Amino acid sequence: MLMLTMNDEKRRAAVLDGARVAEEIKREVASEVAAFRDKHGSVPCLVAVRVGHDPASAVYVRNKVRTSEMLGLRSEHHELPEETTTGELLAEIARLNARDDVDGILVQLPLPQNVAAARVLEAIDPAKDVDGFHPLNVGRLTLGRSGFAPCTPAGIIELLKRSGIGIRGQHACIVGRSHIVGRPLAQLLLQRDATVTICHSRTQELASLTRQADILIAAVGHVGLIRAEHVKPGASVIDVGMNKITDVETAREFFGENSTPRVEAIRKRGFTLVGDVHPAEVEKVAGHLTPVPGGVGPLTVAMLMRNTLTAAQQRRGVS
């Protein structure tokens, strides 16, 4: 286990402010949307499709639609009933693919179990696949060709770049191998000349690998998995996890002297959010650390707006 000195106990990692970077990106997108409107007489259009009544999905879609409208994009929210079949959803996707005024299509996951999610995602026109999940866009990313990268990995790259954290020649370790974050992020980091290690639930001696990383990304969905012993002193730690804790004592242990707002949140609404990183421990070792919430989440939405604008520009031959 990593031993902390008295000086280590007093130090704190610098905050990697994802919310600030997301606002920068959104301001840039809003400016480009206005220029697009002046040139073409229309604005990019994003359509969000949601099936069923999952409360978290409803919040995510509402945030995406609200943000697009704030930036001057046009948005539509198509809400379909829980009993929607795969065939019915595919027909809806076909209609959106055929609409020339629609530039971006996202299908909010998860879908009900009776819907074949892979078939639905593959049915989206790759030119409108602003989530970056279509196999054609995945293949393009793997080959280093132009296409849409998934929004969370793309946002992490922007966070590192705009925070002055170099990638070239650095050792990056990703804990998590999902198709949404871990694998596409590995490709983006490789393209920028990082040396990349991917760890997962079957990895042996996890800490021995993560301690080598200059850039450590936790994206596995395990509350507080990454602790001080997993982190190289001075490393930049990106916490992609978004988990709920409901126990007051756990909140106090996770957040230490900063736990009061978290305890109050649990008492008020029954939970507080925490990532895959143990914040009270890791902030004493890392050089930089993203907060949860306010770290990676805002970047995901900002990059969705960027992808929608890019889709509109490419479909109209605008660089």
108 is known as an active-site residue: yes
* Catalytic site residue from 131, 214, 239, 276: 131
CA dihedral 75, 80, 82, 83 (to 10 degrees): -150
Rounded CA separation 166/157 (Å): 10
Q: Establish whether 113 is a catalytic residue.
A: no
Cβ burial of 259 (10 Å; 0-12, 13-18, 19+) is buried
Please state, in angstroms and rounded to a whole number, the distance separating the CA atoms of residues 55 and 25. Answer: 27
Alpha-carbon span 51 to 167, nearest angstrom: 39
Annotated catalytic residue within 17, 26, 103, 108: 108
Active site residue: 64, 128, 232, 284, which one?
Answer: 64
Give 3-state DSSP helix, strand, coil % of the chain, rounded to 5: 45, 15, 40
Burial of 272 (C-beta count, 10 Å sphere; 0-12/13-18/19+):
buried
Instruction: State the catalytic residues.
Output: 64, 108, 131
